[in-house]
Amino acid sequence: MDLIQRSRRLRTTPVLRKMVRETRMDASSLIYPMFVKEGKGIKEEIPTMPGQFRYSVDELPKALEEVAAAGVPSVMLFGIPDHKDACGSNAWAEDGIVQKALRKAKEAVPELYYIADTCMCEYTSHGHCGILDGQYVDNDKTLEHLAKIALSQVQAGADMIAPSDMMDGRIKAIRTMLDQNGHVTVPIMSYAAKYASAFYGPFRDAAGSAPSFGDRKSYQMDYHNRKEALKEIHQDIEEGADIIMVKPALSYLDIIREAADVIDRPIAAYSVSGEYAMIKAAAKAGYMDEDSIICETATSIYRAGTDILLTYYAKEIARFIQEGRIG
């Protein structure tokens, strides 16, 4: 055969394949989500998320040390309070569960970077992400509460704030509150394009955050929409977001790619609980090789344009990068 173009030339050896690789990954871009709850001596596995746990504050340092030893530099904390009320007051309390966890974490494992999920759904008795007016989530009344939550989390030690509520104007409200209180250097990672997704099911079990009525479709995005995601992203950037996030990841790679093409901010993607649970279930059934699927799916998310990946497989991905299987 008289072939001039032979693409296979660059695939002949592992060294060469890695040399010409287009998508490169580094463990420094990984964030590991973790759940912390009230109580003592608690490390309980989450039934819908095998291998993931809820920790009490006293058990958290051991888990954080494992994260650091795995080479994952950052964690995001989600709180599970004992007390819930209509306004989610435990979310901004000085002795709130995330606030206590942050203080303990910063003392015990200071080398990690701590991100606080800023929302109300885990703390409200109704499970919605804001203040209710009847059965409607009142956007503007919710903003002042979100700003208080963000400030309390930073005062407790959060290095970054990540608002996940999807209220209009929340980034501006939080940025204003932080700046007015001297926290001008604390960055905001906005859940900018957060879709109303069935992939969140296991998380709601883990955090006890399912709404007691209705759904969240009046504030989370319709998954039919693409252009709306870019509108939301641009609005959050205008309001002061330093990093934008697309959530979920695997079913929204097109959104990640479009955002990467047009914005000048780092892009995060959250590989959510349902994505994790599907892989776990298929691997347990013997349908797929778990390690290979972890590598392939993570690479696809980075290939789409992601700079930062939040994933329950962060420790495994860091190991695979170190071993040279991906990255």
Catalytic (active-site) positions:
194, 247
> Distances from the Cα of 277 to the Cαs of 68, 128, 284, 295, 319, in angstroms?
24, 23, 10, 16, 20
In whole angstroms, give the CA distance from residue 80 to residue 309.
23
Q: Which residue reads 């989610």 in tokens? A: 88
Instruction: Classify 95 in phi/psi space as left (phi over 0), alpha (psi -120 to 50) or beta.
Output: alpha
Which residues on adjacent β-strands are paired with residue 35? 54, 78
**Closest of 236, 251, 129, 252 to residue 189, by C-alpha:** 236
HSE on the CB side for 45, CA within 13 Å?
5
In whole angstroms, give the CA distance from residue 105 to residue 123.
21
Neighbouring C-beta atoms of residue 28, cutoff 10 Å: 13
Which residues fall within 8 angstroms of residue 252, CB to CB, at 6 or more apart? Answer: 193, 195, 223, 246, 269
